[in-house]
Amino acid sequence: MTDTLESHIPGLLDQLEGKSPAQAFQILTAQFPGKVTFSSSFGYEDQVITHDILSNGLGISIFTLDTGRMFAETYSVWNSTNERYDTRIKAYYPNHDMLENFVLERGPNSFYESVENRTGCCYIRKVEPLGRALRSNTVWITGLRAEQSNARKDLPMVEWDAKHGIIKYHPLLHWTFEQVKEYIHANNIPYNPLHDKGFVSIGCAPCTRAIRPGEDFRAGRWWWENKSDKECGLHVGTSGSEDTRENKAEAIVYT
């Protein structure tokens, strides 16, 4: 089954080339009915995709990962989105045993102390719930854009995620930040007010800050870490470049 799914990618790249997100979503739902899902963190990009899915009545499920440490503003835009589109976005939560044991052993803010602790926290609050959310789906739609980081600039629009055994599609990959903002305002789409305060990428409250003039898009995430390509482990490319880091995170969780 895995080989069969992966073999769809060259054809999908051809079919989706030059298509708008809404047109691409129609193609995907026709080929994989009931098996296409979208993960939202309620940032600018995700709100664009949510709008296209729900405004067109497409058969794509939408979920979010509630880490338990999100900004109040994120919950507000989540609620506004439910109301605007008359929907109920499903949330996946951390495994309570894993989280309780981790916090007991490491402390509530241990992610500031080491990359190892931070990736362990991300694994429990994001990566493990994501695995449950993607289960039984065939296509995972994301809000990744090429200009967000060096790690994302060479992504293909459609790729194979071997870790989850799923096809990933990045409909906004080649959109600019300005295009995203223009689409949001032109369609009066609910968005996180933190974006107006310099927050470009919004994650957990303790781990996110506004960026300063001249900083790159990811500078506001885990800003205390001295490296440029900072990821939480949700997105592992076809090269599997994050596998080692995720394995270390899993080791923290279970030891």
The residues assigned a catalytic role are: 232
Q: Please compute, for residue 55, the number of CA atoms within 13 A of its CA located in the half-sphere on the CB side.
A: 13
Phi, psi values for residue 216, rounded to 5°: -80, 175
Helices (H), the chain: 2-6, 9-16, 21-31, 44-55, 72-85, 96-106, 115-122, 128-134, 177-186, 243-254
Q: Are 83 and 71 in contact (CB under 8 A)?
A: no
Identify whether the C-beta of residue 184 lies closer than 8 Å to the C-beta of residue 48.
Answer: yes
CA distance 151 to 149: 5
Give the DSSP H or E segment for 139.
strand 139-141
Q: Which tokens in the block code for residue 28?
A: 């995907």
